[in-house]
C-alpha cells in the first residue's frame, strides 16, 4: 500500500477529495498517473492530525479524485517539542535540510533572517511540499508546521522564555555538547543554526545576552548548514528529546 496525505477530516465512511495542489502537479494527478491507481484500489492516507487510515479510490475522474475512508490503522503520533530555526539556504540544500529535520521529528520549521543570510526569500509552499514528501516516505504522521521568516532580533524580542533556545555557535567555548545540553532544563526547546558565513559579532552578542539561550559547539570541524542540522538535531534528541 502507498502512503499519501491530504487536508480533509478523516473518519470511517467519509469521502475526502484529493488536494488540489502538490509540488509536482495536483494530488489527483499523482494518484492516477504516478501511482496509477484505479477506482477501488487501496491506499493509506493521513493528514497530520488524526492518524493513519485505510482508504480506497472512490472516484478518479478528469477533474479530480476522491478517497473513501475505511478503518484507522495507526493513531496520531506526537513527538519532541522542538522548533528548528535556521538561516535560509539555496534551493537544493534547503530541500534536503527540510526533509531531514522532518525525519528527525521537529514540530516547527522557522526560517530566520540574519545579517549574512543569502538568500532572504523563502518558498514556503516548496518547504511544505518537502515536509509532506519526507513524512510520506518515512511513515511519519506528525507534519511539522512551516512558519514565515522573521528577523533574528524581532524573533528574540518576542521569545517565549519557557522555551530554551540552543544556539549552535562555531565560536562556543563549551567544547562538549553533551555536557552543555545536560544542563538545559527538559521541556520545550528550539535549535538555531546560522548562515554559511556564521552570525556576526552583534548577533552573537545579542544571543549571549539572553538568559534563555545556551550555546553549544558541533565539534572541531566547520559543518555546512544542512549537515549541521542533522548533527545538532541528533545531539538534542539524544540528550533532551525522545531518543532518551
How many Å apart are CA 70 and CA 163, to the nearest integer?
39
Please classify residue 160 by burial: count the beta carbons closer than 10 Å to its beta carbon, then call 0-12 exposed, 13-18 middle and 19+ buried: exposed
Which residues sit opposite 80 in a β-bridge?
none
Please check the confidence at residue 74 and state whether its pLDDT lies above 60: yes
Residue 172: predicted pLDDT: 85
Reported as a single tens digit per residue, the pLDDT across 96-110 is 999 999 999 999 999
Reported as a single tens digit per residue, the pLDDT across 110-147 is 999 999 988 778 999 999 999 999 998 888 888 999 99
Residue 30: predicted pLDDT: 72
Please check the confidence at residue 21 and state whether its pLDDT lies above 50: no
Residue 49: predicted pLDDT: 84
Please check the confidence at residue 220 and state whether its pLDDT lies above 50: yes
* Pairwise pLDDT comparison (57 vs 99), residue with the higher score: 99
Cis peptide before 119 (omega within 30 of 0): yes
Half-sphere exposure of 57 (CA within 13 A, CB side): 25
Please check the confidence at residue 5 and state whether its pLDDT lies above 70: no
pTM, whole model, 2 decimals?
0.84
Amino acid at each position: 500500500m502507498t502512503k499519501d496525505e491530504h487536508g480533509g477530516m478523516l473518519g470511517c465512511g467519509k469521502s475526502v477529495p484529493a488536494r488540489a495542489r502538490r509540488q509536482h502537479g495536483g494530488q489527483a494527478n499523482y494518484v492516477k498517473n504516478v501511482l496509477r491507481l484505479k477506482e477501488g484500489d487501496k491506499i493509506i492516507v493521513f493528514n497530520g492530525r488524526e492518524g493513519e487510515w485505510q482508504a480506497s479510490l472512490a472516484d478518479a475522474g478528469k477533474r479530480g479524485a476522491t478517497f473513501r475512508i475505511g478503518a484507522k490503522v495507526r493513531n496520531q503520533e506526537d513527538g519532541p517539542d522542538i522548533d528548528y530555526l535556521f538561516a535560509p539556504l539555496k534551493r537544493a540544500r534547503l530541500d534536503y535540510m527540510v526533509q531531514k529535520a522532518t525525519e528527525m521529528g521537529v514540530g516547527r520549521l522557522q526560517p530566520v533572517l540574519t545579517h549574512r543570510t543569502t538568500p532572504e526569500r523563502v518558498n514556503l509552499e516548496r518547504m511544505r511540499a518537502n515536509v509532506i514528501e519526507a513524512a510520506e516516505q518515512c511513515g511519519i504522521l506528525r507534519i511539522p508546521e512551516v512558519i514565515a521568516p522573521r528577523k533574528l532580533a524581532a524573533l528574540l524580542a518576542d521569545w517565549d522564555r519557557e522555551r530554551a533556545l540552543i544556539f549552535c555557535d562555531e565560536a562556543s567555548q563549551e567544547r562538549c555538547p553533551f555536557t552543555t545540553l545536560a544542563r538545559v532544563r527538559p521541556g520545550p526547546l528550539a535549535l538555531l543554526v546560522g548562515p554559511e558565513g556564521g552570525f556576526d559579532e552583534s548577533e552573537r552578542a545579542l544571543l549571549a545576552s539572553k538568559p534563555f539561550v545556551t550555546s553549544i559547539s558541533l565539534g572541531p570541524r566547520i559543518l555546512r548548514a544542512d549537515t549541521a542540522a542533522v548533527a545538532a538535531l541528533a545531539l538534542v534528541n539524544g540528550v533532551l528529546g525522545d531518543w532518551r
